[in-house]
Amino acid sequence: MTETRLKIFADKNPQSRPSIESMITKMRSANWTNLEELREIYPHADEAMVKSGRKVTILNVGGNNWRAVVAFHYNRQIVFILRIMTHAEYSKGKWKQVL
Q: How far apart are the first and last CA of the chain?
A: 18
**pTM confidence score:** 0.89
C-alpha to C-alpha distance for 41 and 80, rounded to whole angstroms: 17
Type and span of the H or E element at 30: none
pLDDT digits (tens, 9 = 90+) for 30-59: 899 999 999 999 999 999 999 999 999 999
pLDDT digits (tens, 9 = 90+) for 53-99: 999 999 999 888 999 999 999 999 999 999 999 988 998 988 888 88
If one counts the domains in the chain, the total is: 1
Q: What residue numbers bound the domain in which 26 lies? A: 4-98
